[in-house]
A and B are shown apart, each in its own frame.
Chain A
Amino acid sequence: MEKLMSKGDRVFTVLVYAFLIVFTLLILFPLFYVVSTSFAPEGDYYRGFFLIPSSWTLEAYQYLLYNPSFVSAFKSSVVITIFGTIISMTLTSLMAYGLSERWLKGRSVINFLILFTMLFSGGLIPTYLVVSGLHLVDTYWALWLPGAVSAFSVIVIRGFFTSLPYELKESARIDGCGEWRLFAALILPLSKPVIATFTLFGIVGNWNTYFSAVIYLNDGSKWPLQVFLRQMLILEDEKIGELAEALFTYTPAARMAAILITALPLLVIYPFLQKYFNKGMFIGSLKG
């Protein structure tokens, strides 16, 4: 039943729509610019600023495809993301499941240890010393392990597991189902929304990891896409360091194409998982 709106409400509605449309365009415009420039031919570079290329070409993408450092960076990112996410999701969901059994002794101590890491941290340097002391520098383990479990994800996933009906687990146990099978065959499928959301977060975090790679990977052949992109885009523009000269060979189209390739995988994935993280699973779980 849509009632006729009063004049004030109509003005307000127009304002709301105008605001949202402007904000949406503000987000789309830079992305559109990246896409259109990446398909521009090299000659367009001398035209100055433009929104629509004089002709559409895949030159920039071909160039990147044959650039060995770009290809190697892309592969690194894929490896870092796949294994990083698997490791982190396995450790996190197992830990959360174990802690969701209320009768377990020592549970509250471990919960406190987890919560406390949200409040206090040793900081960058001591963490670096631990990682380098374990000889993880220049290996991907330096990216995978230190952040593999976070307090936030354990707390939220644990909350979700705890909210599942206990009788469900009990009846499976009576049927002789072992704990590991129970977890894999019953609990995980039931927890699809929360697991999907955190898997997405894991993928995003690993794919976008930049700073850890900068501190822990000295070996350029292991660099992920983000580090490569930074070298390509930012160092050149600021003209800092000797690298500047050598890197000037990248055309604007190549830089835009690299940005697009770096951003695209996540932009393609998230709309499919939107229904899960939209549900507001965080509300109840904000409190530990």
Chain B
Amino acid sequence: MNQSARLAESVGSKRIPSAKKKEDYLKRAFPFYLMIFPGLLVFLVFKYVPMFGVFIAFKNYSPFRGVWKSEWIGLENFVRLFSENDFLLLLKNTLYLNLLDTFIAFPFTILVALFLNEVRKKHFKNAIQTILYAPHFLSWVVVVGITMLFLRTQDGGVNVLLNALGFESINFFSNAGSFRFIWLFHNIWQGAGWGAIIYLAAIASINPSLYEAATMDGASRLRQIWHITLPSLKTVIVIMFILRLGNFIDVGFEHIFLLQNPLNLHVSDVFETYVYRIGLVQGDFSYSTAVGLFKSVVGLVMIVAANTIAKRLGEEGVY
């Protein structure tokens, strides 16, 4: 009997003894399990083992005693976190940066998509799009590196321009305001073009007859955006917004880390950079794991909450 006939039988007929059925199922399923296995192993080892590894947050971990033999200290690390001044600072910086991003970079991305959609000349649109995507492919090391060369106090382009206009040079790396501005500017510079893809794809699926009808009725371009394009994008915008909210406690570690220096630490320190500094640099593994765990739990609560709210409002959720 060839494989497919056996297959048809095992699916179709109930007369086959269950032992044989089971054997057939295994034979048929085996290659698929084999395909899934290596990936699953990576998930288990590098995602799930660390998830259970968070219990060292409740221990006084010492590298010499190892994970198992270190003593339990209960919630001590969390008490320390909440009572430390750093905690409020981390929370404030995280919220501040995320609010900037959500209220400026997020709408800006949608604006870029809407405007790109208004360009009727195809070649021009394609050329612009290609250029707008480019920064997405640059690493933060490159982006931050170029910025630093531009903003150098002595001979950076921006300060040369300021001097030429009669202003004093600004040391951009030592003050709080410029850190936040540079960070936000980077997010827009690097992300707005790329982020627009998802909205452009959604716009492409809008029925063109809606626009034709609107044009017939004499609706201006702006009115068409307001009454057709934006309402059609509602679901995508809500989904992207939920994802944004769910990541409210994350701020994109590498970017901040590269912009951070001792002079702007009071505005640039966020949970991830704090965990890195306390944990890997200073070697306080337990406490920094506790900080990381706090962050992960808040992140989980945020995304579940955002999703629930979206569903209550009659929108589709993320999951």
Which residues of chain A have a CB within 8 Å of any CB of chain B? 3, 6, 8-9, 12-13, 16-17, 19-20, 23-24, 26-28, 30-31, 33-34, 48-49, 91-92, 94-95, 97-99, 101, 104-105, 110, 113-115, 117, 119-131, 134, 145-149, 154, 173-174, 176, 178-180, 183, 204, 207-208, 210-211, 215, 226, 229-230, 233-234, 237-238, 240, 252, 255-256, 259, 262-263, 266-267, 270-271, 274, 277-280, 282-283, 286-288
Q: How many residues of B contact A (CB 8 A)?
A: 104
Q: Is the CB of B118 within 8 A of A274?
A: no
- Which residues in chain B, 259-281, are within 8 Å of chain A measured between CB atoms? 261-262, 272, 275-276, 279-280
Please give me the residue from chain B that is nearest to A147 by CB atom: B46
B155 interface hit (Cβ, 8 Å): yes
In the complex, chain B residues whose CB is within 8 Å of the CB of A99: 36
Q: Is the CB of A123 within 8 A of B132?
A: no
- Min CB distance, B39 to chain A, in Å? 3
In the complex, chain B residues whose CB is within 8 Å of the CB of A179: 31-32, 35
- Min CB distance, A207 to chain B, in Å? 8
- Min CB distance, B202 to chain A, in Å? 6
A-B contacts besides A98-B33, A110-B40, A131-B46, 12 pairs, CB < 8 Å: A8-B221, A49-B155, A49-B156, A98-B36, A125-B280, A145-B46, A149-B39, A149-B42, A179-B32, A263-B138, A277-B197, A278-B200
Q: How many A-B contacts at CB < 8 Å in the complex?
A: 282
Q: Is the CB of A263 within 8 A of B142?
A: yes
Contacts A13-B221, A98-B36, A115-B319 given; does A129 touch B67 at CB 8 Å: yes
Query: What is the 8 Å Cβ interface bit string for chain B, positions 170-194, against chain A (1 contact, 0 not)?
Result: 0001000000000000000100110
Alpha-carbon separation in the docked complex, A31 to B189 (Å)? 12
Q: Is the CB of A20 within 8 A of B67?
A: no
In the complex, chain A residues whose CB is within 8 Å of the CB of B156: 49
In the complex, chain B residues whose CB is within 8 Å of the CB of A237: 148-149, 152
In the complex, chain B residues whose CB is within 8 Å of the CB of A6: 220
In the complex, chain B residues whose CB is within 8 Å of the CB of A207: 139
The 23 sampled A-B contact pairs (Cβ below 8 Å) are: A6-B220, A13-B118, A20-B128, A30-B147, A121-B47, A125-B292, A130-B49, A134-B45, A148-B42, A173-B4, A173-B7, A179-B31, A179-B35, A208-B138, A210-B258, A226-B139, A233-B145, A237-B149, A238-B261, A255-B145, A263-B137, A271-B130, A279-B201
Contacts A26-B189, A95-B40, A104-B32 given; does A270 touch B133 at CB 8 Å: yes
Q: Is the CB of B51 within 8 A of A267?
A: no
Q: Which of A91, A259, A283 contacts B39 (CB 8 A)?
A: A91
Q: Is the CB of A20 within 8 A of B116?
A: yes
In the complex, chain A residues whose CB is within 8 Å of the CB of B261: 238, 240
In the complex, chain A residues whose CB is within 8 Å of the CB of B220: 6, 8-9, 12
B131 interface hit (Cβ, 8 Å): yes
In the complex, chain A residues whose CB is within 8 Å of the CB of B131: 24, 27-28
- Min CB distance, A60 to chain B, in Å? 14
Segment among B80-88, B90-98, B99-107, B296-304 that sits at the interface with chain A: B296-304
Alpha-carbon separation in the docked complex, A121 to B11 (Å)? 39
Q: Is the CB of A104 within 8 A of B29?
A: yes
Q: Which of B7, B35, B236 contacts A97 (CB 8 A)?
A: B35
B19 interface hit (Cβ, 8 Å): no
Query: What is the 8 Å Cβ interface bit string for chain B, positions 222-235, against chain A (1 contact, 0 not)?
Result: 10000000000000
Query: What is the 8 Å Cβ interface bit string for chain B, positions 115-140, against chain A (1 contact, 0 not)?
Result: 11011000000001111111101111
B157 interface hit (Cβ, 8 Å): yes
